[in-house]
């Protein structure tokens, strides 16, 4: 208990109430005792919530310069105990504010990889380290198992992984029965007795001399992995820092557990969608084929297909089912399988193929609509007959022209009581590539549709001459030009399908 003289009165309730209106610093200043000195009587180190501010600083190989001591205040001097209480209150508020800001930044991450990087950055700031790594290895064995580094290149992580698992901090944490317990602290690695020779070699090569490791585990989430922060010189976090980083990692583990479940669900959805698409494209004389496909994070219903037909013909199709998730993926699989059957029976008439597909959709999927394009190709004659239902027009790329094919306007399948639209016929020149795609390619640009079409046309027109003989290279060039951020842009839920057919 603090012996506060009767001449000093600290109204804590008034202080806390004032913080709601004027901020912590202003409130402390207004309610400070008259006798409070302008400067502190002793050096103060960074505060950590709930930890006494008199904990000594961390030990380093080079002791920090100590400031000149201020004249000690008399125990009976007015204001000294009140200043101590206010100092502690300010420290607690400051530490809780820091923790709140760091957890808010973590809560804004929506993907597992982003969250792992944020945990490393925040933890490094809390413990005073510059580098670190997170080893994700869920105890249930369902994965994903991965290692993410901060200030460490892929080659550096590879060097660390050559150290025997039992000699590493994260290995000892992960090999525990429950993956929890005390942190692994190595204040001076290179001077430790019994340090594994390979560990000593790697530490000297990468230039770290100390490490501090914590388990990423809670009773609710179980063991997810371990986080390790590396110091360039012998050092270790003080008790205040350990307390605060412990609070942070407990919250981070719960957040990572939620993102882990989402990542697993996304992976399952992508795997199912990929398995429902053709594993390889057929080889048909007179035409070269290439396809690019990426499922959005929620799992979508875009598809493509290339089907050899009788008499050397080829059926090409792309399409998209409304919705996302497992139900959309399942609906996409059913429609694609049905379209293949209709193409074999009456593929030379694309309108009939789409009419049958529309009837099936209305009867079996009354709450859905879909866009689709089907093209009946005769490579030997370089002749294409196609029909589209609410779909974007194909793009022809050649030496002397880059233009969209003129197709008739049509509603998507399932939108009208009876779908029917005329087909169009055109003949690509030798060496020209026909590009068919889903609307996700245009939507991912974030531009209005007219500008997205202009961007697609410009990308196709800019295909270098050196790659015009390779439909796969053409597709990659178009994708990288239209979508500079790539197909993995985290802010897009759209599927992307691109099917290129080059006629010889």
- At 469-482, the pLDDT tens digits run 999 999 999 999 99
Confidence (pLDDT) at 488: 55
Confidence (pLDDT) at 3: 43
Confidence (pLDDT) at 225: 94
Confidence (pLDDT) at 492: 60
Helix axes 12-22, 24-31, angle to 10 degrees: 140
Confidence (pLDDT) at 386: 93
> DSSP readout, 383-441?
EEEEEEES-PPPEEE-SS-EEE------PPBTSSSS-----EEE-PPTT-EEEEE-THH
Chain position carrying tokens 């600083």: 57
Q: How confident is the model at residue 499 (pLDDT cuts 50, 70, 90)?
A: very high
Q: How far apart are CA 124 and CA 116, in angstroms?
A: 12
Q: Nearest to residue 48, comparing CAs of 103, 90, 16?
A: 90
Structure tokens at 194: 């019994």
- According to DSSP, residue 72 is labeled P
Which helix (H) or strand (E) segment holds residue 98: the answer is helix 80-107
pLDDT at 231 over 50: yes
Structure tokens at 423: 């087909």
Confidence (pLDDT) at 21: 39
Using alpha carbons only, what angle is made at residue 109 by residues 105 and 115, rounded to the nearest 5 degrees? 90
Interacting residues of 430 by C-beta distance below 8 A, sequence separation 6+: 382, 503, 504
The mean pLDDT of 304-325, rounded to a whole number, is 91
pLDDT at 70 over 80: no
Q: How confident is the model at residue 486 (pLDDT cuts 50, 70, 90)?
A: low
Q: How far apart are CA 411 and CA 371, in angstroms?
A: 8
Is the bond into 144 cis (omega within 30 degrees of 0)?
yes
The CA-atom distances, in angstroms, between 87 and each of 42, 260, 299 are 12, 41, 53
Q: Coil, helix or strand for 246?
A: helix
Domains plus CATH for the chain?
1-59+77-108 (no CATH), 109-269 (3.30.450.40), 277-503 (3.60.40.10)
Confidence (pLDDT) at 22: 38
Q: What are phi and psi for residue 404, nearest 5 degrees?
A: -80, 140
pLDDT tens column, 9-66: 434 333 333 333 333 333 333 333 334 333 333 334 344 443 333 334 444 443 444 4
Q: Torsion-angle region of residue 128: left (phi > 0), alpha (psi -120 to 50) or beta?
A: left
Q: How far apart are CA 121 and CA 463, in angstroms?
A: 41
Confidence (pLDDT) at 5: 41
Chain position carrying tokens 């997205």: 452
Which has more confidence, 1 or 394? 394
The mean pLDDT of 228-234, rounded to a whole number, is 96
Q: Torsion-angle region of residue 40: left (phi > 0), alpha (psi -120 to 50) or beta?
A: beta
Whether residue 132 contacts residue 230, with contact meaning beta carbons closer than 8 Å, is answered with: yes
Confidence (pLDDT) at 313: 95
The mean-pLDDT minimum among 4-8, 167-171, 177-181, 491-495 falls in 4-8
Q: How far apart are CA 212 and CA 357, in angstroms?
A: 61
Confidence (pLDDT) at 299: 64
The mean pLDDT of 197-215, rounded to a whole number, is 94
Q: How confident is the model at residue 376 (pLDDT cuts 50, 70, 90)?
A: very high
Whether residue 386 contacts residue 375, with contact meaning beta carbons closer than 8 Å, is answered with: yes
pLDDT at 234 over 90: yes
Query: Mean of the per-residue pLDDT values for the chain?
Result: 81
Whether residue 126 contacts residue 248, with contact meaning beta carbons closer than 8 Å, is answered with: yes
Confidence (pLDDT) at 375: 95
Q: How confident is the model at residue 95 (pLDDT cuts 50, 70, 90)?
A: confident
Q: How confident is the model at residue 443 (pLDDT cuts 50, 70, 90)?
A: confident
Confidence (pLDDT) at 297: 63
The mean-pLDDT minimum among 65-69, 81-85, 176-180, 417-421 falls in 65-69
Confidence (pLDDT) at 298: 65
CA dihedral 95, 99, 100, 106 (to 10 degrees): 160
pLDDT at 107 over 70: yes
The mean pLDDT of 268-278, rounded to a whole number, is 79
Confidence (pLDDT) at 94: 84
Is the C-alpha dihedral spanning 319, 323, 328, 329 positive or negative?
Answer: positive
Q: How far apart are CA 185 and CA 237, in angstroms?
A: 9
The CA-atom distances, in angstroms, between 275 and each of 278, 306, 388, 497 are 7, 15, 25, 15
């Amino acid at each position: 208990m603090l012996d506060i003289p009767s001449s000093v009165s600290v109204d804590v309730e008034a202080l806390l109430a004032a913080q709601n209106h004027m901020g912590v610093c202003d409130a402390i200043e207004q309610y400070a005792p008259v006798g409070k000195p302008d400067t502190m009587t002793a050096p103060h180190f960074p505060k950590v919530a709930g930890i006494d501010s008199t904990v000594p600083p961390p030990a380093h190989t080079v002791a920090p310069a100590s400031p000149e001591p201020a004249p000690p205040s008399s125990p009976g001097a007015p204001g000294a105990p009140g200043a101590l209480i206010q100092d502690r209150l300010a420290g607690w508020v400051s530490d809780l504010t820091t923790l709140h800001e760091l957890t808010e930044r973590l809560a804004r991450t929506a993907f597992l990889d982003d969250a792992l990087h944020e945990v490393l950055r925040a933890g490094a700031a809390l413990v005073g380290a510059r580098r670190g790594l997170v080893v994700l290895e869920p105890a249930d064995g369902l994965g994903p198992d991965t290692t993410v580094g901060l200030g460490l290149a892929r080659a550096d992580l590879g060097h660390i992984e050559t150290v025997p698992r039992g000699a590493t901090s994260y290995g000892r944490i992960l090999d525990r029965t429950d993956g929890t317990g005390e942190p692994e602290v190595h204040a001076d690695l290179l001077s430790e007795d019994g340090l594994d020779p390979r560990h000593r070699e790697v530490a000297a090569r990468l230039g770290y001399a100390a490490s501090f490791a914590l388990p990423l585990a809670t009773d609710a989430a179980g063991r997810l992995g371990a986080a390790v922060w590396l110091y360039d010189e012998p050092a270790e976090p003080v008790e205040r820092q350990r307390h605060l980083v412990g609070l942070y990692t407990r919250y981070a583990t719960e957040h990572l557990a939620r993102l882990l479940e989402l990542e697993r669900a996304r992976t399952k959805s992508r795997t199912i969608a990929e398995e429902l698409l053709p594993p390889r494209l057929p080889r048909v004389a007179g035409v070269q084929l290439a396809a690019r496909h990426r499922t959005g994070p929620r799992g979508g219903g875009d598809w493509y297909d290339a089907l050899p037909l009788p008499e050397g013909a080829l059926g090409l199709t792309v399409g998209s089912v409304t919705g996302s998730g497992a139900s959309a993926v399942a609906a996409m699989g059913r429609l694609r399988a049905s379209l293949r059957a209709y193409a074999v029976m009456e593929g030379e008439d694309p309108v009939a193929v789409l009419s049958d597909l529309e009837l099936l959709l209305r009867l079996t999927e009354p709450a859905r609509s879909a866009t689709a394009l089907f093209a009946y190709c005769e490579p030997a004659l370089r002749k294409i007959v196609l029909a589209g239902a609410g779909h974007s027009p194909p793009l022809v790329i050649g030496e002397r022209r880059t233009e969209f094919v003129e197709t008739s306007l049509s509603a998507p399948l399932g939108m009208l009581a009876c779908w029917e639209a005329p087909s169009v016929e055109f003949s690509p020149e030798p060496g020209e590539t026909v590009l068919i795609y889903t609307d996700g390619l245009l939507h991912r640009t974030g531009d209005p549709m007219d500008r997205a079409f202009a961007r697609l046309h410009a990308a196709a027109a800019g295909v270098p001459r050196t790659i015009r003989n390779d439909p796969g290279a053409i597709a990659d060039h178009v994708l990288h030009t239209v979508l500079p951020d790539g197909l993995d842009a985290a802010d897009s839920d759209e599927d992307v399908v691109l099917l290129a057919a080059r006629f010889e």
